[in-house]
Structure 1
């Protein structure tokens, strides 16, 4: 950026130098065309006078040539230099005379030098032409152009338009010495301005350059996939607006990437759960079913002393099949995002009731939960149902979901065989541990009450509003 200051300054100085050179060259080229300018000036005024003379002669054919020429000058209406109306060629000090065929001056634009009635000190050429000589005003360049009028014999010459200009009348450009006197200071100024502009550019852009460099560094980190760095916002200019906008953009981009990662992990986990469920159903469930049929056949065909063992084998196979079915339902993916929490819970309860023959009563109230909290509630109910089926052998299970203020309560009760909540390592340790972890991540509390009349698992937590964070809870 400092170089741009130097470049702009140098360009300005060079433009000034170019203008000086133009002042030297253009007027000199114009001065070399003085003769052609005089010829053009005389030719234009000759045409005007010739037309006026033709008009006057047509109106009065008897006018003599001298009088006709004087009347043509008067009737030109200021359209010629000698008539006093039209100025000479801009930039040239010239005079114009109308000369009769005898050399007498008929009209003059410079009465102080050439009076009408006098004679010209340059001989008449008898035709159009020009030249250079010393006249009353000194060395001059001049040009004659005849005033013609059509007659029976062709064209008659009524007189001449004479245009004269001193040799130094043309605009004089700067001489080489004068131009040099202007160019040299400009070069010195350029030599001084370049280092000054460089220093000024460095001082004035140092802070801006460091800010842009810092922004570029953070941009490189973000482009590499690291969304943690942020730009320090300083000042209140356009760059600070860019810094602030970049931070906002990085926050949103990081959140979007993290959401995509969570979604990918969730989908991968759901796919894995589905794969495990299919393998369990296709292999172990079929084997357990076959074992149950074999045990039933053995019980019917075995001798009396072996029927007890066969009956125990059949009950064990049936219990294993029941637990396997409960496990498959736990692994069953639920489309929470498409259905919503209440339809997902109702569908889960119907699945347990239909496939396992256990009555499941669902008392569900509308609650406003964040997506992560909804998922945690769904998984908690799913695990509580699975534990009840696998370990308690209940006839009825009740699922309740309610809210009072910002406190949400989830309760799963069964009428099966109870257990000692203080000694759950052997049978219920993993399921209760997972449920407790889920509720803890929501900032809530899990209570387990069990006895001879059944078991009740209750989770209580403050419900975050949709869109708010729920801690580190994630889909499982």
Structure 2
């Protein structure tokens, strides 16, 4: 899904996703542990609340029953006193007088019934018609009690009103003769207490009733919401914070990877000199180091390939020149020498022209010998497969076969690196060629041996020799090139020669020579 974005954006997104997943897992684990406990506590709280409601409802019923009995007993005493003083009064008049005295004249004679905690107290005759009420506005005189409250036997009940539950109870009002001769029911005492009066006495309201307030709120939902809300807030805050942290923390890593990518592109375009600074020792640092090592090896390989290609080109060119010299100049010189020999033989003996023809024949023979020596120098000698001793052996045999000069080889295997072997081979080849071309030797000796920590190679001939002080005029740059080649490898070239005493060229260099010193 994020593959079309950059690496930095994908890594920042992964930070956000991992952090969000961690928050969700912690929240899920917390809910898995706490929700059953909260649910259990919620059920226990509701059960306790229901039991409390039931108990407080019972208290409210007991209270209203007690108030009704007290009211009935008090009005009954007043009525009994009135009945003893004036027994001729009928019951309706008796109950009306007793209610008036009991409810309205309490402050005057102390025999009345004081209102209790805002309860409604009603006195009705035996038929249920109201004769007095406190407060008077609750039930007007002449009104009738509710049908369920009109029975002479004690009763109680409750009804749901707009503000809550109203509890009511009744008790009979009895008139008892002073002599105890009998009693009769003359009225009904009715008491009700509304929600406010019930609450003031500790009576709880039923769960779910209107106006019950916070007690009816689901505890579990509130608690679970309080657990989820912090996690949700943390998750919302985590999105921008995680993204910023991911972008900030991956900046340096992305820059290092970008340097690697740019370096790879430059190398692919052909710039093998590019290198990347190793900025740390971590995995990316090791990758940077590996890139630099790869670039160095690739650069060295390309340089070696170019050197090998140049050497191959030089060998091919030397072979071409050798073929051209052999096919054209050597053949022409051979033809001229044949003509000179025939002319010498055809001319009279002792004539001046015969002597000149003989001199020309000798010059041509010497030139042909030098040409063959030059062709031998141009002939490439393969060193990689056979080694230095075998390559020198092949060189000696070739000179001996092509020039007819005995070349003795005493060669021992020596521990030299390939560059040093190549240099020794070229110096020996140059020395043998110089001996053949310039010394006119009868024999040549080539030696190769290890002497302690050094390797020595020598070329000795029995030719005309020369004065080393005048070598530059006679041998051109050959001797200087030999010395320079050996000097690069830490070696030396020694030349011993004198006119008529032959020449010895000795090369000495360290065993571990091979790397150019510049």
**Partner of residue 387 from structure 1, selected from 424, 434, 441:** 434
Indicate the residue corresponding to 2:470 in structure 1: 423
* In 2, Cα distance between equivalents of 1:305 and 1:183: 131
> 1:385 offset after TM fit, Å?
0.7
Q: What SS is found at the alignment partner of 2:471?
A: coil
Measured against aligned partners, the alpha-carbon deviations of 1:193-231 in whole angstroms (never above 9, x if no partner) come to: 343223312321222122222222332333233333333
Structure 2 residue 470 is matched with structure 1 residue 463 = no
1:2–1:200 Cα contact (<8 Å) kept: no
Structure 2 residue 377 is matched with structure 1 residue 330 = yes
Question: Following superposition of structure 1 onto structure 2, how do residues 373-384 of structure 1 map, counting pairs within 5 Å?
Answer: 373-384=420-431
Indicate the residue corresponding to 2:123 in structure 1: none
**Partner of residue 282 from structure 2, selected from 228, 234, 237:** 237
Indicate the residue corresponding to 2:461 in structure 1: 414
* In 2, Cα distance between equivalents of 1:324 and 1:334: 18
* In 2, Cα distance between equivalents of 1:211 and 1:400: 59
Indicate the residue corresponding to 2:333 in structure 1: 288
Which is richer in helix? Answer: 2
- Name the CA shift for 1:388/1:203 in 2 (closer, same or farther; >3 Å): same
- Name the CA shift for 1:7/1:403 in 2 (closer, same or farther; >3 Å): closer
**Partner of residue 441 from structure 1, selected from 457, 463, 488:** 488
1:6–1:194 Cα contact (<8 Å) kept: no
* In 2, Cα distance between equivalents of 1:12 and 1:218: 34
- Name the CA shift for 1:11/1:414 in 2 (closer, same or farther; >3 Å): closer
Question: Following superposition of structure 1 onto structure 2, how do residues 4-15 of structure 1 map, counting pairs within 5 Å?
Answer: 4-6=11-13, 8-9=15-16
> 1:472 offset after TM fit, Å?
6.7
**RMSD between aligned residues:** 3.2
Structure 2 gaps of 5+ residues are 1-6, 32-217
**Partner of residue 242 from structure 2, selected from 194, 197, 201:** 197
Question: Following superposition of structure 1 onto structure 2, how do residues 307-386 of structure 1 map, counting pairs within 5 Å?
Answer: 307-386=354-433
* In 1, Cα distance between equivalents of 2:224 and 2:327: 102
Measured against aligned partners, the alpha-carbon deviations of 1:215-272 in whole angstroms (never above 9, x if no partner) come to: 2233233323333333322333211221222233233333332222222222222111
Measured against aligned partners, the alpha-carbon deviations of 1:349-377 in whole angstroms (never above 9, x if no partner) come to: 11111211111111212201111111111
1:10–1:193 Cα contact (<8 Å) kept: no
Deviates more, 1:244-253 or 1:349-358: 244-253
**Partner of residue 353 from structure 2, selected from 289, 292, 306:** 306
**Partner of residue 258 from structure 1, selected from 303, 306, 316:** 303
- Name the CA shift for 1:284/1:461 in 2 (closer, same or farther; >3 Å): same
- Name the CA shift for 1:280/1:12 in 2 (closer, same or farther; >3 Å): same
2:260–2:276 Cα contact (<8 Å) kept: yes
Structure 1 gaps of 5+ residues are 24-171
> 1:418 offset after TM fit, Å?
1.5
Measured against aligned partners, the alpha-carbon deviations of 1:116-156 in whole angstroms (never above 9, x if no partner) come to: xxxxxxxxxxxxxxxxxxxxxxxxxxxxxxxxxxxxxxxxx
- Name the CA shift for 1:436/1:340 in 2 (closer, same or farther; >3 Å): same
Q: What SS is found at the alignment partner of 2:503?
A: strand
Q: TM-score, normalised by structure 1?
A: 0.60
* In 2, Cα distance between equivalents of 1:326 and 1:369: 27
Indicate the residue corresponding to 2:133 in structure 1: none
* In 2, Cα distance between equivalents of 1:230 and 1:264: 26
Q: What SS is found at the alignment partner of 2:384?
A: helix
2:428–2:459 Cα contact (<8 Å) kept: yes
1:13–1:186 Cα contact (<8 Å) kept: no
Deviates more, 1:248-257 or 1:437-446: 248-257
2:16–2:243 Cα contact (<8 Å) kept: no
Question: Following superposition of structure 1 onto structure 2, how do residues 269-284 of structure 1 map, counting pairs within 5 Å?
Answer: 269-284=314-329
- Name the CA shift for 1:308/1:187 in 2 (closer, same or farther; >3 Å): farther
> 1:191 offset after TM fit, Å?
5.8
1:362–1:400 Cα contact (<8 Å) kept: yes
For the pair shown, the structure with the greater C-alpha radius of gyration is 2
Indicate the residue corresponding to 1:139 in structure 2: none
1:10–1:190 Cα contact (<8 Å) kept: no
